[in-house]
Amino acid sequence: MEYLALPLALRDGYLSRASLHDSISYSIALILSTHPGQLDFDPGFGCIIWDKEYSDLHASNKADIRSSLRNAIDMYEKRLYNVYVSFTHSSGSNTSGLGMVVKVTGNYREADEEKDFSESFMLG
């Protein structure tokens, strides 16, 4: 099965294609970057991270935020299962945004084979 790459860009009369892993990664990035209510056709799409204060993201108890992100991924990215979400503080001079990284791990099936998924997403 072929998947479309994001952003959608027409090149030589064709839309770019992506692997299943990359398609899942694009989908999660879209979920993480969308505020609930932003899309008229599905007001529930997105995650609550954008409703939180900066201090909430750096608080020692991030269980509610992790749970909310995991639930959003479970609801809108059905190809990924056994989802685990964690946060790390981004270090380095190239950091922009909130300085937080969301790491998403889980499993997916491709050609009747279970594969591991692990990807990190910069917030902000």
Q: What token pair was written down for 98?
A: 């909130």
Q: What is the pTM of this model?
A: 0.81
Under the banding of pLDDT at 50, 70 and 90, the label for residue 124 is low
Q: How many CA atoms lie within 13 A of 118 on its CB side?
A: 2
CB of 47 within 8 A of CB of 59? no
CATH number, domain 3-122, options 3.20.20.70, 3.30.70.1230, 3.40.50.720, 3.10.450.40 = 3.10.450.40
Convert the pLDDT of each residue in 3-52 to its tens digit: 888 877 787 778 888 899 999 999 999 999 898 888 899 998 988 777 76
Convert the pLDDT of each residue in 92-117 to its tens digit: 545 455 567 899 999 999 999 999 99
